[in-house]
Amino acid sequence: MIYSLVKKGLLLFILLSGYFTHAQIYDPVEWDTEVKRISDEEYQLVFMAFIQDKWHLYSQELPEGAALPTTFIYEGAGEKYELVGDTEESESVTEYDQVFEMELSYFANQATFTQRIKVTDSTLSTVNAKIEYQVCDDKACIFEEEKFEFVIREGAVTADADNEVSEEEAEVEGIVNPEEKRSFWGIFIVAFLSGFAALLTPCVFPMIPMTVSFFTKQSKSRAAGIRNAIFYGISIVVIYVLLGSLVTLIFGADSLNALSTNVWFNLAFFVLLVVFAISFMGAFEIVLPSSWGTKIDSKADKGGLIGIFFMALALAIVSFSCTGPIVGTLLVEAASKGGIAPIIGMLGFSLAIALPFGLFAAFPGWLNTLPRSGGWLNTVKVTLGFLELALAFKFLSNADLVLQLHILEREVFLAVWIAIFGLLAFYLFGKIRLPHDSKEDHISVGRLISGLVVLIFTIYLIPGLWGAPLKIISGFPPPLHYSESPYGVGNSQGNASTSVSSVLPEGAHYGPHDILSFHDYEEGMAYAKEKDLPVLIDFTGHACVNCRKMEERVWSEPQVLETLKNDVVLVSLYVDDQRKLPESEQYVSETTGKEIETIGNKWSDFQITRYKANAQPYYVLLDHNEEKLIAPSAYEPNADEFYRWLQEGIMAFGENGDSLKFESLGGESSVIQ
């Protein structure tokens, strides 16, 4: 008797433990808000997120096809108040995500978002805002919406004594993003390396010994020669930095960043880079008016520091046919970062150009170590032309993605790159000659090695046509889902499926791995009754990382895949589906009190109300009476365990009695091993 009671008590404890382990409402993010007064007309709305340990909140800026970004919606913006700039965010963590195959940015522990507004109507008293966001840990993801009301004027606090936000506060609140500081370093390094590449072009390289020799011979002493050469180098830096400053001044620091996502901006620079590339390949030269060079040369003859400055300016003008395309490309890339990025880019580029003049002036003996000018300089120039051409298609891809024209899909983009780098490999091997190439009987070892590297890279790109992720160039080609053949060239949805009818039932779709699935609960339940199969409810999300892990790593296992295709009816309910419900179907949740306006809201509320859970992925096996056959399952990376869970539910569905159902606790159960 005692043994039987203990056994039943233990069974009850285990089952309830499983229930509460999977069925619970997570609340990993707490929000706090504040209003700061900047001036009589400007205010700052502050959102502070406090994130539980092991959870992370995604950034606002994520690549297309990635996780769900944090989104801010301001009601009534443009009526009684205007938004000043974008919503700024504090420092985030950026890491490569194996599932989405791209770098994603997120916040851990704490995040701060700020939005400046300008009041245009003195009657404004409150500002209402809504946040849509995704928060995940290593097992689950949650999609949430939060609404806030900011009290203006009476509820505002003064930012500081001068009604301005201090630099320290700005960095904490996200106005000055430390992530941008790191990106500036990246721009500087790329620009610096590009400057060294420009040095190795026919327009610049021969100028090094000529210019240094001029300073060392014309100067009265070696020290004076070194001083003049250093000033010459500084003048080069000043000229190019002024160019970067001019670009920033003309377009504005903020508008440059906005332009980077503009369709016409991307199309214009696609054309521009193609022109640069063709110029580098020798079809024509891009030169500034000759009168400019003549006037600058006359100024350089005056001597002194002013003359040296004009010599540097003459170098910039004369070498423009080689440096212009590189400088233009750098400014385009820097424009996508916004702020002072063009200035940083020109600083790095000009330092690389100027550095050799100072060093060789200080150590003239080093000139003897320089290789002689020759055909290799044109090879460098043509190689840069191929690289410019490849980069140009990135801008065309950006425009195509924004417009969703599906003209330059992933396969086409990769085919273009394979062709470009394949031709570059043949060029480096000496199989292709362009207009300004000198005839050679052999190629150098350096050119051979460079050709091998390019050929290896070209071969690496080819499997991408069949769906390979190509992590090395992640972020350059369109995402995997933006593809003519998402399953790879030669494959199509449904080709691999022999067990599913080619005629889809009403409301059905082909899901991952060609599994027949429904996106509507009622339609899926009706089909399950027709086929006399149990229902597998899959609470998921388009931007759910762990949902994709389950689909790609667990569902793809043969025994799991066969079960999902043949033994259950899959109903995938997307809780982040942003499509609006018809007004007649919108309602206020009795459980959460939130307004249910979208399809995603509906399924999220359905999960919370019926199963007391709000995390994804979340799997429930049901019979035709909509009763659970077994305790629900969440993220389970072990395919064997997930398969066992499926089989236990299917066995329960096949039983005549209810001994295996979750609600029955009176007898033995195969759920408990």
pLDDT digits (tens, 9 = 90+) for 622-646: 999 999 999 899 888 888 999 999 9
* Predicted local distance difference test score (pLDDT) of residue 490: 57
Question: What CA–CA distance (Å, rounded) separates 300 from 303?
Answer: 6
Question: What CA–CA distance (Å, rounded) separates 127 from 77?
Answer: 9
Residue 141 burial (CB count, 10 A): 28
pLDDT greater at residue 197 or residue 509: 509
pLDDT digits (tens, 9 = 90+) for 229-253: 778 778 878 877 787 677 666 655 4
Residue 185 burial (CB count, 10 A): 11
The mean pLDDT value of the chain amounts to 74
- Asked if 127 and 152 count as a contact pair (C-beta separation under 8 A), the reply is yes
Structure tokens at 302: 């005056």
Residue 567 C-alpha from the chain's centroid: 38
- Asked if 149 and 127 count as a contact pair (C-beta separation under 8 A), the reply is yes
Structure tokens at 305: 């520091």
Sequence-distant (≥ 6) Cβ neighbours of residue 242 within 8 angstroms: none
Structure tokens at 304: 């002194």
482-494 average pLDDT score: 60
Question: What CA–CA distance (Å, rounded) separates 569 from 624?
Answer: 11
pLDDT greater at residue 358 or residue 515: 515
pLDDT greater at residue 405 or residue 539: 539
397-401 average pLDDT score: 76
32-58 average pLDDT score: 86
- The answer to whether residue 85 scores a pLDDT higher than 70 is yes
* Predicted local distance difference test score (pLDDT) of residue 642: 92
Structure tokens at 82: 């205007």
* Predicted local distance difference test score (pLDDT) of residue 332: 61
Question: What CA–CA distance (Å, rounded) separates 581 from 599?
Answer: 6
* Predicted local distance difference test score (pLDDT) of residue 361: 66
CA distances from 392 to 267, 292, 398, 426 (A): 9, 30, 10, 21
Burial 277-305 (b: 16+ CB within 10 A, else e): bbbbbeeeeeeeeeeebeebeeebeeeee
* Predicted local distance difference test score (pLDDT) of residue 529: 92
Report for 132-141, 432-441, 482-491: range of highest mean pLDDT:
132-141
Residue ranges of domains in the chain, CATH in brackets: 29-173 (2.60.40.1250), 179-257+281-371 (no CATH), 508-654 (3.40.30.10)
pLDDT greater at residue 418 or residue 154: 418
DSSP code of 592? T
- The answer to whether residue 167 scores a pLDDT higher than 50 is no
386-402 average pLDDT score: 80
Sequence-distant (≥ 6) Cβ neighbours of residue 359 within 8 angstroms: 366
348-352 average pLDDT score: 81
- Asked if 233 and 309 count as a contact pair (C-beta separation under 8 A), the reply is no
- Asked if 578 and 543 count as a contact pair (C-beta separation under 8 A), the reply is no
Residue 17 binned pLDDT confidence (cut-offs 50, 70, 90): very low
pLDDT greater at residue 451 or residue 211: 451
Question: What CA–CA distance (Å, rounded) separates 620 from 634?
Answer: 9
87-114 average pLDDT score: 80
Closest CA to 469 of 88, 21, 100, 49: 100
pTM: 0.45
* Predicted local distance difference test score (pLDDT) of residue 4: 46
- The answer to whether residue 22 scores a pLDDT higher than 50 is no
- Asked if 568 and 533 count as a contact pair (C-beta separation under 8 A), the reply is yes
Question: What CA–CA distance (Å, rounded) separates 607 from 592?
Answer: 12
Bridge partners, residue 43, by sequence: 37, 117
**φ/ψ (deg, to 5) at 365:** -60, -25
Q: What percent of the chain has pLDDT over 70?
A: 65
41-56 average pLDDT score: 86
pLDDT greater at residue 186 or residue 443: 443
pLDDT digits (tens, 9 = 90+) for 59-68: 888 876 677 8
Q: Whats the size of the chain, residue-wise?
A: 673
Closest CA to 241 of 151, 362, 343, 103: 343
Residue 478 burial (CB count, 10 A): 22
- Asked if 245 and 357 count as a contact pair (C-beta separation under 8 A), the reply is no
- The answer to whether residue 184 scores a pLDDT higher than 90 is no
